Amino acid sequence: MTTQQFTYVLAVADCQSFSRAAEKLYVTQPSLSQYIHSIEKQLGVQLFDRSLNPIRLTDAGELYVTWARKLLAMEESMNNALSDLMGMQTGTVRIGASSFRVRCLLARSIASFHAQYPNIRLSMREADMRQLKDMLSTGEIDFAIGTGTFEEKNFHVEALASEQLYLAVSHDNPLTERLGGALTAEDICTGTPRFLRQKPIDLSAVKDELFVAANAGEYDRESLSTVCRECGFEPKIEYSVQTIETVFAFVCANMGIALLPDSLIYYGNFRQHPSYYPLPDRLANSSISLITKRNAYLSKAAAAYALTLKQLVDVGTWQIGSGFMPNVKEGGIMP
Give the DSSP letter string of 105-159.
Answer: TSHHHHHHHHHH-TTSEEEEEE--HHHHHHHHHHTS-SEEEE-S---TTTEEEEE
Q: How distant is the alpha carbon of residue 249 from its chain centre?
A: 18
- pLDDT for the residue numbered 79: 66
Q: What angle (nearest 5°) sits at the alpha carbon of residue 101, between those of residues 96 and 102? A: 60
Distance, in Å, from the CA atom of 259 to the CA atom of 147, rounded to the nearest integer, reads 15
Contact 175, 209 (CB under 8 A): yes
Amino acid at 17: S
Per-residue pLDDT at 126 exceeds 80:
yes
Partners of 288 in beta bridges: 161
**DSSP output for 7-48:** HHHHHHHHHT-HHHHHHHHTS-HHHHHHHHHHHHHHHTS--E
Contact 3, 72 (CB under 8 A): yes
Q: Flag the least confident range among 68-77, 117-126, 174-183, 304-313.
A: 68-77
Q: Is CATH 3.40.190.10 correct for 163-284?
A: yes
Residues above pLDDT 90, as percent of the chain: 35
Looking at the chain, the domain(s) classified CATH 3.40.190.10 span 163-284
Encode pLDDT of 219-264 as tens digits. Answer: 889 999 999 999 999 999 999 998 899 999 999 999 999 999 998 9
Second CATH level (architecture) for the domain 1-86: Orthogonal Bundle (1.10)
Contact 120, 127 (CB under 8 A): no
Model pTM?
A: 0.67
Looking at the chain, the domain(s) classified CATH 1.10.10.10 span 1-86
Per-residue pLDDT at 98 exceeds 90:
no
- pLDDT for the residue numbered 332: 34
Distance, in Å, from the CA atom of 151 to the CA atom of 129, rounded to the nearest integer, reads 13
